[in-house]
Structure 1
Amino acid sequence: MTKLSPGPQNGAAILQIDHVTKVFDTKTVLDAVTFDVKRGEVFGLLGPNGAGKTTLIRTILDIFRPDTGTIALFGRTFSDDIKDAIGYLPEEGTLDKEIGVLECIRYFASLKHVEGIDKKADAWLARLTLADYKDKKIQDLSKGMHRRLQFILAVIHEPAVLILDEPFSGLDPLNMKVLKDILLDLRAKGTTIIMSTHQMDEVERMCDRILMLNAGKVVLYGKLDEIRQEFGLSIELRYEGTLPQLDNITSISDSGNAAEIVVAKDADTQALLKTLAAQVTVKKFEIKQRSMNEIFLEVAGK
């Protein structure tokens, strides 16, 4: 097998998608999707259910072929040696419930030509608190344990690119933290991570850049900070009195004595505070960047 290294050229494009379109029957699931993923970054794939995220992942993996457009991974088209350099965690996966946990790891690792399988398997089982279950059958695992085993299968061969479809599905908060820490460790070692998730808080903590799809089209793409700046600021307001008419605001949610105000991108927040202070008693005026959850809801709603 040709071993493709995860580094050291951080910043160069490792994946390039150029005007990829995919149609099933008469429905366009991917519509001229264009973006790239940099080597060594955590890249988030966002979008509501049915937006095209899983289809995009399967197209990258050569499970589906695009009807138009091109995909380049490591600067070339898909091939067997590229396949061995990719780890993939599907959103839902079925494993043979009658086989043992260690036997399952050995089988999948052999498909990726892994050497020293048992030693690596023991290390991963310990790290994901599954060591006591290595001789158990898969049918004996809980949903969360099954998910952690699937993650081991995705990383046992030390892939240069790791593609994760809803990686935190079925995990409790403790195991979510364990998995997040592992992903950040892999990133520090140069692994490129492409992650589809609805966990917006994890997107904000982990992702360098994101792509958001809606109805198969790219609706957001870029660095998180730049995207937040485009969507203006949010003000948490507590007050006494009656709110006046306000200028340069995008939306307001007023529950009486408390309000959440979204201001336009270039609004003067100090002028807004002066306007409010002249009309009501201001108890709290906190300016915040808008969260990815708020931005997601706004864009998906459109």
Structure 2
Amino acid sequence: MEKALSVKNIQKSFKSTKVLKGISFDVHKGEIMAILGPNGAGKSTTIRNIMGIMYPDEGNVTFHGHNGSDIPRHKIGYLPEERGLYKNVKVMDVLLYFASLKDYPKEKAKKRALYYLERLGLKGKENVSVEELSKGMGQKVQFIGSIIHEPELLILDEPFSGLDPVSQDVFKHEIKELANNGTAILLSSHQMNLVEEMCDRLFMINKGEKVIYGSMDDVKREYANFKCTIRGRNEVATLEGLPEVTRVEQSGDISVLYLTHDVQATNWLKQLPESLDVQELSVDRVSLHEIFVDIATDQSLAEEVGATHA
């Protein structure tokens, strides 16, 4: 796949604190790439370096062969985590202003604005003041503002925050459609279920360093061990004594058995003793949410995974 963005060994310090410690990743044309990490991990600093709000102390950010101050920023769209629209300005005027900042033709911008207002359920709102919109509507307008100039790279920072489930589905559809049409998308979110559903690859950072980098399938296969959930009244000691069980979590009559990395799930199920009380049973892989929590709370796991995906 064609690289749209390449981040190579960037390092950034603020006074004596090293915030980025030589991180590298690529974002390809037409893919949705997640950048993940706990608060304070370095995600926002990375995004600001890509946007040219600041520049790395060492390393390079390259966008379609350009780097540093030569990067054509008008080809990049950005939806910041902190939303901000001029409250007493009409929706269309705000969108045309955003387009003008990117040197995008006014008439084309107006057509795109009307097109996306209709797609996002805001038809007829173009002459309404921003202050009259609900929070969700305002977020839709700001999303349109980030894509109105047809960016080749779109950076989305917590795009689903504060959205109801219906609006989340609308955003998911539009983001996927943009990627299908060739836009490279870098997405930062703490909603792991949406990341797992949408993203092709992920880069996970912790304390300024890479801990995971790869396709979603590779990450799940390499790190997300199987777990077995059993509904039934069973003693924890009995479950812990089963082969290839690393730990057991129990709440009421629900027991979750975490299995070793190399377990063969089908064969393992055949070994379960008939004496177990099994009302319901399911086997699946550890979720991306659980991987995230492990990395955020246990550095030894982060180091292990980082070595795997180096």
Normalising by structure 1, we get a TM-score of 0.90
Residues 1:192 and 2:184 are matched in the alignment: yes
Residues 1:258 and 2:244 are matched in the alignment: no
Residue pair 2:81, 2:157 contacting (<8 A) in 1 also: yes
Paired residue type of 2:192 = M
Residues 1:246 and 2:242 are matched in the alignment: yes
Residue pair 1:20, 1:31 contacting (<8 A) in 2 also: yes
Residue pair 2:52, 2:69 contacting (<8 A) in 1 also: no
Deviation at 1:80, TM superposition (A): 6.0
Match of 1:73 among 55, 63, 87: 63
> In the alignment, what sits opposite 1:145?
137
Deviation at 1:59, TM superposition (A): 0.6
Distance of 1:240 and 1:226 partners within structure 2: 35
Unpaired segments ≥5 residues, structure 2: 299-310
Q: Cα gap change, 1:241/1:131 in structure 2, threshold over 3 Å: closer, same or farther?
A: closer
Residues 1:220 and 2:216 are matched in the alignment: no
Match of 1:207 among 186, 199, 218: 199
Distance of 2:171 and 2:9 partners within structure 1: 33
Distance of 2:89 and 2:205 partners within structure 1: 38
> In the alignment, what sits opposite 2:43?
53
Residues 1:237 and 2:237 are matched in the alignment: no
Which residues of 2 match residues 1-302 of structure 1 at below 5 A? Answer: 11-79=1-69, 82-115=72-105, 116=107, 117-231=109-223, 232-242=225-235, 243-244=238-239, 245-255=241-251, 257-270=253-266, 272-277=268-273, 279-302=275-298
- When structure 1 is superposed on structure 2, of 236-245 and 226-235 the one drifting more is 236-245
Paired residue type of 2:209 = K
Residue pair 2:158, 2:190 contacting (<8 A) in 1 also: yes
Paired residue type of 2:269 = L
Deviation at 1:189, TM superposition (A): 0.8
Deviation at 1:113, TM superposition (A): 2.2
> In the alignment, what sits opposite 1:7?
none
- When structure 1 is superposed on structure 2, of 226-235 and 272-281 the one drifting more is 272-281
Residue pair 1:161, 1:193 contacting (<8 A) in 2 also: yes
Deviation at 1:279, TM superposition (A): 4.7
Distance of 2:190 and 2:257 partners within structure 1: 24
Q: Cα gap change, 1:75/1:249 in structure 2, threshold over 3 Å: closer, same or farther?
A: farther
Deviation at 1:94, TM superposition (A): 2.1
SS of the counterpart of 1:297?
Answer: helix
User: Could you say what the CA RMSD is over the residues aligned between the two structures, in angstroms?
Assistant: 1.9
Deviation at 1:30, TM superposition (A): 1.4
Query: 1:114-162: per-residue Cα shift (whole Å, max 9, x none)?
Result: 2222222211211222233221222222211111111111000111111
- When structure 1 is superposed on structure 2, of 270-279 and 158-167 the one drifting more is 270-279
Paired residue type of 1:109 = A
Query: 1:36-86: per-residue Cα shift (whole Å, max 9, x none)?
Result: 112211001111122111111111111111111111111221456621111
Deviation at 1:111, TM superposition (A): 1.8
SS of the counterpart of 1:277?
Answer: coil
Unpaired segments ≥5 residues, structure 1: 1-10
Equivalent residues, number: 292
Residue pair 1:276, 1:282 contacting (<8 A) in 2 also: no
Normalising by structure 2, we get a TM-score of 0.88
Distance of 1:241 and 1:14 partners within structure 2: 53
SS of the counterpart of 1:94?
Answer: coil
Q: Cα gap change, 1:256/1:93 in structure 2, threshold over 3 Å: closer, same or farther?
A: closer
Q: Cα gap change, 1:288/1:158 in structure 2, threshold over 3 Å: closer, same or farther?
A: same
Paired residue type of 1:189 = N
SS of the counterpart of 2:77?
Answer: strand
Paired residue type of 1:74 = H
Residue pair 2:63, 2:71 contacting (<8 A) in 1 also: no
Distance of 2:70 and 2:141 partners within structure 1: 24
